[in-house]
Amino acid sequence: MKRKRDEEGEKKKEMEIVWQTPANPPERHDYIFRNGRRHVRPYYFEFISHVKNRWAGKTIVDLFAEEFKGRPYEYYVSAVKCGRIQVDGQKVPVSYVVKSSQKISHFLHRHEPPVLALDVSILNKEPDVVTVCKPASVPVHPCGQYRKNTVVGILQAEYNLVPLFPIHRLDRLVSGLLILARNASKADIFRQQIEAGKVQKQYVARVIGVFPEYEKLVDVNINYNPREGRSTAEAGNSSSDTTLKGKAACTKFTRISTNGTHSIVSCEPITGRTHQIRVHLQYAGHPIANDKLYLSKEVVDRSTEGMSADKAAANSDPSLSSNFGQICSCENEEYSSEDFSIDPMCTNCPNLAPKGYDGHEGGLWLHCVRYSGPGWIYECPYPDWASLG
């Protein structure tokens, strides 16, 4: 009898699910390193949203099926029935009609995309500021599918640095200097200096061809298309009859060296538009040498990349089993011998990375080397690819 009770206790323990929220901090043991990539051990997470006015009047299933199309309709029916989708903290029937401002919770087995397994090295650590060398492929802060696999998350997990306030942006594929304030008041000082135009920025890029020896100023509007995930340069000027949709953008370029095939170029953006340096280098006829997005004028529809966890799901039907606690050793070509919990309702399991992830993604040859403002300068070493020797 005792043995039977012990077995039932073990089974119950195996089926327990610990749901995480944004309040749960990343920890060192959350990461798995394999084949040059930093993975996050999949975890259960509660996504919270509130019913918008345009959602009101729809059934809970129709709302999810219409607004989050990455998963099949049958998944949402099953998720509502088993309580993976709740309204105001309560299970509801599939026919439940939502009302404006109600809280909706979606409980998911979350898989974050891997990033390059490079250290987030600390360059300077001061009472109010910390500067780091951000590796390429790692987002600065939680966004989209990324939460723990971010610079802020890694610094919290490995150095217990919290809170942190990034004071400037670096695109996910860009490496180099990142400045983070350690309190809100210091972050606000930086923000005011940036908005007042008192902060100077310098990057280094490796571009195709022999860049002109003289200093080159590119003053061309940039129009960002969020659906395609890319920007375009708009030729023209304010005195012409053509209406420019983009925002004013200006970048100063200076050649550092060249080997006849590639050039190392100093880039000083005067404004701060999305992909500004990349687009202005393309416009100048010298795109970054490994920038797949801007080496060709062909528009690649990236609307299915970098999606939220809802949209990243595959279109296969999930298993409806409730045996949540099993442990599996994945035998994929890339993800083998690492144990993590398999959720039979998860459309990403048994893979470690989310479906749709391109495992061959690397970093751009674009690196932030210097930020300076009133009475302060922060710098970062040049990357190895900046040497043409």
Closest CA to 277 of 385, 203, 182, 343: 203
Mean pLDDT of 222-238: 83
Max mean pLDDT range (34-38, 320-324, 373-377): 373-377
Convert the pLDDT of each residue in 177-200 to its tens digit: 999 999 999 999 999 999 999 999
* 171 is an active site residue: yes
Catalytic residue among 30, 88, 171, 188: 171
The SS3 of residue 153 is helix
pLDDT of res. 341: 81
pLDDT of amino acid 137: 94
3-state secondary structure of 131: strand
Q: Which tens digit of pLDDT belongs to each residue from 22-39? A: 778 899 999 999 889 999
- The token pair at 363 is 């970093």
- Confidence (pLDDT) at 246: 87
Asked whether residue 360 carries a pLDDT value surpassing 80, the answer given is: no
Render pLDDT for 273-311 as a digit per residue (tens, 0 to 9): 999 999 999 999 999 999 999 986 543 333 333 333 233
- Position 221 scores a pLDDT of 94
Residue 71's alpha-carbon distances to 61, 316, 345, 346, in angstroms, are 12, 8, 11, 10
pLDDT in tens, 127-158: 999 999 999 999 999 988 899 999 999 999 99
Q: What is the mean pLDDT of residues 365-370?
A: 98
Sign of CA dihedral 157, 159, 163, 169: negative
Kindly tell me if the per-residue pLDDT of 13 is higher than 60. no
Residues 248 and 221: their CA atoms lie apart, in Å, by 4
pLDDT tens digits, 113-123: 999 999 999 99
Tell me the domains of the chain and their CATH numbers. 28-112 (3.10.290.10), 203-290+365-386 (3.30.2350.10)
Q: What is the pLDDT of residue 210?
A: 96
* Structure confidence at residue 240 as a pLDDT band (50, 70, 90): low
Q: What is the pLDDT of residue 18?
A: 67
Distance between CA atoms of residues 378 and 334, nearest Å: 38
Which residue type is seen at 137?
S
Length of the chain: 389
Rounded Cα–Cα distance for residues 174 and 193 (Å)? 23
Looking at the predicted structure, is the pLDDT value of residue 331 above 70? no
More confident residue, 328 or 364: 364
pLDDT of residue 12: 39
How far is residue 213's CA from residue 18's CA, in Å, rounded to a whole number? 59
Share of the chain above pLDDT 90, in %: 65
For 159-174, the pLDDT digits (tens) are 999 999 999 989 999 9
**Per-residue b/e over 165-174, b at no fewer than 16 CB within 10 Å?**
bbbbebebbb
Residue-wise pLDDT tens digits, 61-115: 999 999 988 788 998 999 999 999 999 999 999 999 999 999 999 998 999 999 9
The pTM for the full model equals: 0.80
Q: Residue 326's pLDDT is what?
A: 35
Distance CA 79, CA 83 (A): 6
Q: Quick one: which of 172, 369, 207, 179 has its CA closest to 278?
A: 207
Positive or negative: CA dihedral 18, 22, 28, 30: positive
Instruction: Give the model's pLDDT for residue 17.
Output: 65
Average pLDDT over residues 344-373: 87
Separation CA 341–CA 339 (nearest Å): 7
- CA-CA distance, 150 to 183, in Å (whole number)? 19
Tell me which amino acid residue 312 is: A
Chain centroid to CA 374: 31
Whole-number pLDDT of residue 16: 55
The mean pLDDT value for 256-269 works out to 96
What's the whole-number mean pLDDT along residues 243-258? 91
- pLDDT above 70 covers a percentage of the chain that reads 81
